[in-house]
A and B are shown apart, each in its own frame.
Chain A
Amino acid sequence: MEFNIVAAGIGGQGIVLFSEVLSKAMLAEGMNASFYVHSGLAQLGGSVRSHIRSGGRICPKISHGCADIILSLEMAEILHAVPYVKREGTVIISEAMRIPYHSAMDPSRYPTKETLDKLFQDARIKAVFIPSEDIARNAGHVQTANIVMLGALVATSNVVETESVVTVIGSCMDQNAQVNVEAFWKGYEFITGQDYV
């Protein structure tokens, strides 16, 4: 079955690793999987997006209105993913903020959590906010916030088995595997503990 995820974030947040772990877990479960990273000059703090897909015949880009889940690793970046989400889709937003130059000087140029929440409410779609960096810090390292979000995604969607993700993390991140597995479970439990599912 086709399953589509559009993930958004900014350079340095680990969107490629996020996509890699998820698609490898999909592959391990026998699905056809692909992801495409739309990055530009991400290294310098630009926006990054990834289209992660599983299913039969899949091309790199997801069509508008076809994403089962849109997710962002940085709060405002979710706006880039909005056109992709299905009417009955799910929205998962990290509360992590990276306030750029113009928004720092003029705070009205950065959306508030309330604005975003209302935007999705008005569209009759549920947005889940995750304090991913706080959870990651508690789990051991702030840089695992991407894997916290992966945990939240898996808990929300059951798109892959948790064991598959844990195995992939173990196989592709030698010395950092443990802290990432911890982050994954923390993100997972944040959702299950809150009865979002």
Chain B
Amino acid sequence: MSSHILTDSSGKKVIFSGNEAVARGCIESGVSFVTGYPGTPTTPVIEILNREKAGLKARWAINEKVAIDTAAGHSWAGLRTLVTMKMSGLNVASDTVLSVAASGTVGGLVIYVGDDPNVYYGMVEQDSRYYALLASAPMLVPANPQEVLDFTNYAFDLSERIGGPVFLRSTTVLSNTYGRVALGEIRRLRQKAYFTIDIDKYTKAGSIRCKQQHEDALRRVREAEDLTEDLNILTKTGSKVGVIASSLAWDYLEEVLEKHDLDLTRLKVSTAHPAPRGKIRRLLETVEKVLVLEELEPIIESTVHSEVSRLENRPLVFGKDDGLVPRVGDLSPDQVREYLSVPLGVELRSYPAIEVDDNIEAMKVQRLLTFCAGCPHRNSYYALIEAMKDLGLDPGKTVVTGDIGCTILGMNEPFNICWTEVTMGNSIGLATGFLEAGMKKPVVATLGDGTFYHAAIPAILDAVTTEQDLPVIILDNNWAAMTGYQDTFGTINGANVRIPIEKVAKGIGARSVKVVNPYRIGKTVRAFKSVLTASGVNVLVLRAPCVAKQARKWDLGVQVNKGRCPGFEGCDRTCIEALACPAIVRDGDQVKVASETCMSCGLCIHYCPDKAVQRNFFKLKRKSVGI
């Protein structure tokens, strides 16, 4: 689908996702550098640009803070730059974001951030629009893929007009919506790096400079308010009820108005910051009631309230403050219809669905999120639990701090071993905190290789220098798997220079560093037992590639010997229950191995108390799977 991104000419209509539209926008706008950190929903932009060999530099940074640092340098050298991250990443990058927003920029700098209203993926349900207010920088909030493309292009122009960074904010639903987009022209810019000394702008030395920079940032926002006037569209129809809506809520509103043949006075807000005060006021002057529709927090609504307070005839505001529109979750056309009925005072009819007697909710199948068949992490957690049992520790009472990524699936059944998941790299500091508090040892920290490089290194240094007894378990599967197998800085055979974890860990003072292949269960259990009882910070790297990215080479022909398997009736704890491996499926009362899914990790062979699971052909070369 993304083959159009590079080549197709202006005017051509294609189907693009929000993310593809951003990638195309970078090309149309003559951007020379794109960086960022993977995180849903913004990950695809850099991947598309790389896949398409877009002729611009697009690469992952070690974390979001470094991404925005690098992007700022590029912008200050006069070149156009886009930086992408998920909302959590913006928290990590925020220190630099605020500082750069105060200093201003030279080459257009656009920060593409994805929020996740309704939490389709996990992490804090946060509204990144607050960062635009915090940083005093404009933020564009498109409503559909066409606008994502148009606003990406516009954001670069705006950034250069006002001399400051511009946020482009998407959401999970918008980034994953594929819609018809008319392509624009590809502009080729001739840019050459230059940088001039200007300590008033580029340093934060002294109160006078910093206050001047604050003034400058506020001035840029005022300028943006005038420049973006036309992006916010006011339609006056003389109705007594008016609606102000932003981003996808606008799209839903339009659908509801059309379906119900309503022509209400309405304002489309495309700039979360600065809010279009003038147009909001003009709308408020003509209506008796106004409904404000936006996902997550009442940000535009607060401007509406402040404008209402200035009026003599004050319209009634419907939205989040009165509890009509929720602050939790996202919106849908069905919800918009329901909320609109309230100020209208008539119930807008829903559409006749089918009537079912059965309780559909109860019938829905619960799908446990678990490791892929053959995932090395399953073996690692299995071995950790075995090691605890061998040492007489109760796995249910030994604190294990988890971290972000596929590694956290150890919190789910059947392992139930990870107790916490906070932010990238947090497992180490949190464990240190538990130890400082005097929690019973061992307290164990587990994390992935991506997370290690992203944010764990300073925390490990901290644990080393404060002389903690902390086993640090790094599940090194070669990639940042959960976000779609991006290279990490230790990735073997990847594009990046390899800086192995063990070298870093030794360099920052770990007392011991050991690398073990988690498919060798016995060895892994022994390695765990040694770090769980050792003093000091000891790093255990469990290294084997993610099988979803790189299938195991050998097909062991794993099979269940029906004569030996006692089945669900006779088995204390079946392999299905104990391992939750998607390749082991129920076959009547017994189990069987689904050969299309099995990755020959051998964990079930190791586990089965009745030795009913067996390998068939030794070292048979694995057939390629999939098409």
Contacts and interface: CB of A to CB of B under 8 A. Distances in A.
Contact of A80 (B358, B364, B413, B577): B364
A34 interface: yes
A109 B368 CA distance: 13
Most buried by B among A24, A89, A102: A102
A105 B575 CA distance: 11
A101 B373 CA distance: 13
A101 to B, nearest CB: 4
Interface string A99-134: 111111101011100010001101111000000000
A39 interface: yes
Interface in B350-366: 350-358, 360, 363-366
A27 B178 CA distance: 12
Given A80-B364, A107-B586, A41 B177 contact: no
A36 B576 contact: no
Interface in A134-179: 141-144, 172, 176, 179
B1 interface: yes
Range, interface on chain B? 35 or more
Contacts of B366: 100, 102-103, 109
A63 interface: yes
Contact of B1 (A20, A76, A109): A20
B109 interface: no
A56 B178 CA distance: 15
B470 interface: no
A125 B352 CA distance: 13
Given A76-B365, A87-B354, A101 B333 contact: no
B343 interface: no
B1 A172 contact: yes
A94 interface: no
B31 to A, nearest CB: 26
A182 B168 CA distance: 43
Nearest to B143: A59
B363 A86 contact: no
A104 B352 contact: no
- Residue of B358, B371, B574, B577 ringed by the most chain A CB atoms within 10 A: B358
B469 to A, nearest CB: 33
A43 B357 CA distance: 33
B254 interface: yes
A59 B333 contact: yes
A104 B363 contact: no
A125 B364 contact: no
Give the dominant DSSP class at A's interface. Answer: mixed
Interface string B407-419: 0010001000000
A141 B255 CA distance: 40
A101 B576 contact: yes
A58 B255 contact: yes
Given A41-B121, A86-B351, A122 B356 contact: yes
Contacts of B363: 76, 79, 111, 115
Given A99-B586, A176-B627, A27 B15 contact: yes
Given A35-B178, A76-B365, A41 B15 contact: no
Given A37-B176, A58-B255, A44 B409 contact: yes
Contacts of B337: 63
Interface of B: 1, 13-15, 120-122, 144-145, 173-174, 176-180, 248, 251-252, 254-255, 258-259, 332-334, 337, 350-358, 360, 363-372, 406, 409, 413, 482, 484, 548, 568, 574, 576-577, 580, 582, 585-586, 596, 626-627
Given A36-B178, A76-B365, 5 more contacts: A32-B180, A36-B177, A63-B350, A64-B334, A101-B367
